[in-house]
Amino acid sequence: TRAKTIDATVKAIEAAHPGVKVVTAYTSHIIIDRVAKNEGIKFPTPEEALDALKAEGYSRVALVSLDVIPGMEYNYDLGVYHNYKDQFKKMTLGTSLMYWQGQEGQADDVTQTIKALATQFPKQGKHDAILIMAHGTPQVSNAYYSVIQAKIDELGYKNVFVYTVEGWPSLETVLPKLKQNGIHHVTLMPMMMVAGDHANNDMAGAEPDSHKSILEAAGYKVDAYIHGIGENAAIQSLYLERANDAWNALEAK
């Protein structure tokens, strides 16, 4: 899964910037430990990566985020940026996949991302729905999911709903909408960089409390699309755009 998502996106960034050192760092210490234990590969934290770059004599660094929304992990990126920016001649920080919302003079990252995500939507009949499972966060940035839903509706995608594992809206929030719209068949898909534990277990697991099982118990036919959005070529292109923005800001006089 990592090879198809994170590594593939990093390779696209490397290909666009030949001759530039590209380092992959993980903000999740749990994932760092898990990968080290299971595969013997030790990914650095952002702090460790920056300490190493400084020791190697690098003086200009573009930090690039592979986060989906500016939530808790992006806050970590921001903290790292503020803690390290004075230790280098110049440092820039890119935005998450969805950041700007199309207010006056801004890009509309949310609409861009929905259109890219829609390239993987199955064909829908009037009784079919797509449920997009996001992570959710206890932070105020959880409000992004309301913006995402509003823009999905504005773009005219029918019976496409966003819900979260650890935030609002939840699956329970969406269930009445399915009933109300006469839905018989649902496709579940994660809106996460990698299809990991949440996608395989919370969303599509065989346990009675998985989203798939809850929907089936409520009488729906359910399919699960278990691929991280990092596998989607259109999404990878957007991540490359975000990386290029950080690089261009670094290069700017």
Per-residue pLDDT tens over the stretch 10-22 = 999 999 999 999 9
Per-residue pLDDT tens over the stretch 207-250 = 999 999 999 999 999 999 999 999 999 999 999 999 999 999 99
Q: Are 206 and 240 members of one domain?
A: no
Is 11 a domain residue?
yes
1 pLDDT band, cuts 50/70/90, is: confident
Across 233-243, b (16+ Cβ under 10 Å) vs e yields eebbebbbbbb
Q: What residue numbers bound the domain in which 71 lies?
A: 6-99+233-251
> Are 227 and 235 contacting, i.e. CB atoms less than 8 angstroms apart?
no
Closest CA to 155 of 185, 189, 190, 112: 112
Is 104 a domain residue?
no
Work out how many domains the chain is built from and give that number. Answer: 2
- Please give the pLDDT value at position 230: 97
Which residues make Cβ contacts (< 8 Å) with residue 57, sequence separation at least 6? none
Per-residue pLDDT tens over the stretch 61-120 = 999 999 999 999 999 999 999 999 999 999 999 999 999 999 999 999 999 999 999 999
Is 42 a domain residue?
yes
87, two tokens: 């230790």
Per-residue pLDDT tens over the stretch 27-58 = 999 999 999 999 999 999 999 999 999 999 99
pTM to 2 decimals?
Answer: 0.96
CATH number at residue 140: 3.40.50.1400
Question: Which whole number is the average pLDDT over 163-167?
Answer: 95
Residue 251 has a CB neighbour count (10 Å cut-off) of 11
- Measured CA to CA, the distance from residue 110 to residue 100 in angstroms comes to 7
Is 1 a domain residue?
no
Q: Are 132 and 221 members of one domain?
A: yes
3-state secondary structure of 24: coil
- Measured CA to CA, the distance from residue 101 to residue 112 in angstroms comes to 10
Which residues make Cβ contacts (< 8 Å) with residue 178, sequence separation at least 6? 129, 161, 186, 220
- Please give the pLDDT value at position 253: 84
Per-residue pLDDT tens over the stretch 115-157 = 999 999 999 999 999 999 999 999 999 999 999 999 999 999 9
